[in-house]
Structure 1
Amino acid sequence: MKLNLTLLLLLICPVLWSQPKLQISESDKKPNILIIMADDCTYSDLPLYGGTNVQTPQIDKLASQGMTFNRAFVTMSMCVPCRAELYTGLQPATSGVCWNHSIARSGTTSIVQYLGDMGYRVGIAGKVHAAPREVYPFEMVDGVERNCVSKTAGYDAAGLRDFITKNRKQPFCLVTALVVPHIPWTVGDPSHFDPEKLNLPEYVADTKEMRNEFTKYLAEIEVLDRQIGTTLDLLKEEGIEDNTIVIFTSEQGSQIPGCKWTNWNNGVHTGLIVRWPGKVKSGTRTDALVQYNDVLPTLLDALDNKTSAGFDGSSFLPVLLGEKNTHREFAYFMHNNVPEGPPYPIRSITDGKYHYIKNLAHENLYIEKHLMARMTENQYWPSWIFEASGDQKILDLVTRYQKRPSEELYDMTSDPNEMNNLLNREGFTAIQNRLSKKMDEWMTKQGDPGAAIDSFEELNNARKGNHFEN
């Protein structure tokens, strides 16, 4: 009996030894995640959203491979609050990041912990702009310029490659936070654009200086597009393209009057593309209303993590999978002007078509110090002021920016640049009242005291960890 068993093993073992080792294919692993962020890129300047002044072949290619969101928004159109929202799934009053250059409440949980607990390596290359470290313990990845006001936009794909290839057995999440086209507009080649032939947006004053500065901004969008293409090429070169969820976002609007630091559409509206091969249908667009605080819950849902965490956002995975074509009923917005200027608090709401804005201290003069005071970094605002004395259209634009009514209402579908205030016009009162009521309910739910928090005292308290109670 023992002899027969020995013979049997001798016959079987060579067969076993000759079999290839069992390997986990890329398709069987948890998907990697790559989040690519622009820095201060107005969504409507991209060809994907109707822009006509610059070409972005890499962004367009990514869109052809995934889903483009027509109605995606940040809650606050400034760098620190919107990134906190993306990384935590929380709106500003919940995380405590209600001002630029502020910090999250101690104990807040971010994408680093959520994905880290699922076995992911979570790294960030480029601009961080998120604090404190205990909330955002990213692995620091080399290869991308971190200083958003640097006069260069250094990019070396080798650092990114090192991170994504460091451990093939472990999935990764990499945030690639590029610093273009944030001011100063000093990289790229503005000579690619003829200032006289630009199609300036209607909310921009048509001055010689504005046209010249706009070419510099467009040159940085070209650099952005190239860096995106190089980053995406890494996935293909390393054979992981088909098992990586890619998210591209343009962040908030540019530092041009009417965009960043406002609640107007060109400030809070963000370009958003999601590519997930085999899951998200290529070349699709959706009108589903989403916000930054929905992104983290969506990623966790895609990874089958049914966390009960108290996000302000919710998963739009059914939209990505083509099972639904709607998500939110409303998107909400906040602006606190401190420390970028004197207090000028704003709150607003949209249902995807109509946008209601309430300027809580409309009697104040709106001032944004970076855009209006640093004359060495831009020459366009002084040209607006100089030309306003002899050009009524430019004077109207300056007045629109600095002296706003108590309330505003816009049809974002027919008037995406929000130049025609519909407030109190016949036929719009019911819409105005409905949105105003819903916005007040949101503020109450968030524990948002409104104008009271737009102060240097509240910001300084938050920086010390003494956030207001919501």
Structure 2
Amino acid sequence: MKNILPFLACFLFLLNSYSKTGAAEKPNILFLLSDDHSVPYLGCYGNQDMETPSLDKLASEGMLFNHAYTTAPQCVPSRSSLLSGRNVLDVQMLRFSAPLDKNIITFPELLREAGYYTGVCGRSYHLDGSGKKPRETIDVFKEFGMETFRKRMDYVNQGIGDKVLVQIKEFLDEVPKGKPFFMWANYSDPHRPFTAPEFEPDPEKITLPEGMPDTKEVRKDLAAHIGEINRLDLRIGQVLDELKQRGLYNNTLIIFMGDNGAALLRGKGTLYDCGLHVPLIARYPELIEPGTKSDILISGSDLGPTILDVAGIKPDKQMTGKSFKHAMQGDETENHEYLFAVRGAHGSGLPGNSSAFDLSRTVFNKEYKLIYNPLFHLSYHPVDFAGSEMWKEMIQLHEQGKLEEKFSHTTIFSPERPMFEFFDIKNDPDEFVNLSGKEEHKKREHEFKTQLHRWMIIYRDVVPLPIPPN
């Protein structure tokens, strides 16, 4: 017995040390989310018009993801997927002002159960319904307890601009000693209206993408969008400096992402690339080799399961997203053969605003994309820029017959849209050449229709299925 006691004491000491080390090694997590931000609008994505040194440095110290896509081209449904680890249909977040059901588990709740101190700050997180509710809505929300985020998080605050940094400092001051933290910081940039003229480049010197016409107002509009991202970068740099000053920079998993595509031409509110393709950067020295890139397909619903995986926490059984932790470690095994996204109602049903009722669906991979427009009889309506000088100029040029043909003859100015759009996105990345119905692409198009059809059935989509009964 005397011989056993020293070994037992040693074993208990090592076990205690291991458990303490394990707790200490749980990473802090900072999730930085920009608002309406597409690839390639960061310097690290090769855009030379940008001045984004903070995010470029973050990418050089971590990993840049080239194929990250949101599950919807609007903030509310997209964010519901980010937080729940599930697709938009699965959580029934198809309406812009919908609150996230209180019974749906979010990944920050699982982090909190595992000992994390959790918080959300900055611009509205959008998952407790619209910030501007009529009395009739407020009454229902109160009666049924539909505002849930103050119960889901330890710290909840809202504000824009410099207030985000103030709130993050306040949150960090409140984190109990010895607890890891999770903070979700929401930025309003580069959401319209654009209000950062001092950060804008010269409109005449920027490089326009192929998907935009070269006009005076288009240049000014894009320069203003770039200015907002440049300002965003400055503010994110201040937050990263705060982590460094507190000695938290190297033991924090830092993830930066766009919530959905930019409110630019054929962007936000559409299922084209600019509406879904977002920047994604991750830095965590314990896991990620500096200056690396990943080319695997990533869905917005993958974020929560990935963060939980890095923290050593099992995801909720309802989560359908796939962890891409392996990609952070250099393993390029694909999680997805196809990605899916949903365009739900956006804004109000005011007269002339078809965007409130647009219910399109898409399935895509790195080579092809199918868009299904069941409400094909509705014309295109821009989201968030219908009153902009850029859009007014485009309408005028179109009516005068002066707009470049490829812009005048796409769905942008058509009185109605095709029910199906099928694109070879390797050879047509701007998605202007609709191959739907072409004999040489019929077999492949049917393959994509079948995938979308299956997905819509599985998740009980209310929209008519793309393959009708015989």
- TM-score with structure 1 setting the length: 0.83
Aligned partner of 2:103 among 80, 85, 107: 107
8 Å Cα contact 1:188-1:223 kept in structure 2: no
Q: CA deviation at 1:200?
A: 1.8
| 1:68-217 correspondence runs (5 A) | 68-127=64-123, 128-131=125-128, 132-134=146-148, 137-140=152-155, 145-146=159-160, 153-155=161-163, 157-166=165-174, 167-189=176-198, 192-217=200-225
CA distances 1:240-289 after superposition (whole Å, capped 9, x unpaired): 11211111002212211200000001101111111111211111111111
What does residue 224 of structure 1 align with? 232
8 Å Cα contact 2:24-2:178 kept in structure 1: no
| 1:23-422 correspondence runs (5 A) | 28-127=24-123, 128-131=125-128, 132-134=146-148, 137-140=152-155, 145-146=159-160, 153-155=161-163, 157-166=165-174, 167-189=176-198, 192-340=200-348, 341-342=353-354, 343-368=357-382, 370-372=384-386, 375=387, 378-394=388-404, 396-398=406-408, 399-403=410-414, 404-422=417-435
* Matched position secondary structure for 2:29: strand
8 Å Cα contact 1:26-1:243 kept in structure 2: no
**Any gaps of 5 or more consecutive residues in structure 2?**
1-16, 129-145, 466-470
The structure whose Rg is larger is 1
What does residue 446 of structure 2 align with? 433
8 Å Cα contact 1:261-1:337 kept in structure 2: no
C-alpha separation in 2, matches of 1:182 and 1:439 = 30
C-alpha separation in 1, matches of 2:274 and 2:251 = 33
8 Å Cα contact 1:384-1:394 kept in structure 2: no
In percent, how many aligned pairs have the same letter? Answer: 27
8 Å Cα contact 2:30-2:185 kept in structure 1: yes
CA distances 1:214-251 after superposition (whole Å, capped 9, x unpaired): 22211111101111111111221111112111110022
C-alpha separation in 2, matches of 1:214 and 1:129 = 26
Opposite residue 325 of structure 2, the aligned amino acid is: L
**Any gaps of 5 or more consecutive residues in structure 1?**
1-20, 147-152, 453-470
Q: CA deviation at 1:48?
A: 2.6
C-alpha separation in 2, matches of 1:278 and 1:27 = 15
C-alpha separation in 1, matches of 2:334 and 2:452 = 20
Opposite residue 52 of structure 1, the aligned amino acid is: Q
8 Å Cα contact 1:333-1:348 kept in structure 2: yes
C-alpha separation in 1, matches of 2:22 and 2:100 = 36
CA distances 1:134-190 after superposition (whole Å, capped 9, x unpaired): 256334455x734xxxxxx33463431231243231111001111101011012515
Q: CA deviation at 1:331?
A: 0.7
* Matched position secondary structure for 1:260: coil
What does residue 468 of structure 1 align with? none
Q: CA deviation at 1:390?
A: 3.0
C-alpha separation in 1, matches of 2:359 and 2:19 = 56
8 Å Cα contact 1:68-1:273 kept in structure 2: yes
Q: CA deviation at 1:89?
A: 0.6
C-alpha separation in 1, matches of 2:441 and 2:89 = 30
Q: CA deviation at 1:394?
A: 4.2
* Matched position secondary structure for 1:43: coil
8 Å Cα contact 1:141-1:163 kept in structure 2: no
Q: CA deviation at 1:204?
A: 2.2
C-alpha separation in 2, matches of 1:164 and 1:200 = 41
CA gap of 1:335–1:22, structure 2 versus 1, over 3 A, is closer
8 Å Cα contact 1:45-1:52 kept in structure 2: no
C-alpha separation in 2, matches of 1:59 and 1:411 = 31
8 Å Cα contact 1:410-1:422 kept in structure 2: yes
CA gap of 1:62–1:27, structure 2 versus 1, over 3 A, is farther
- TM-score with structure 2 setting the length: 0.83
Opposite residue 183 of structure 1, the aligned amino acid is: R
Q: CA deviation at 1:80?
A: 0.9
Opposite residue 189 of structure 2, the aligned amino acid is: V
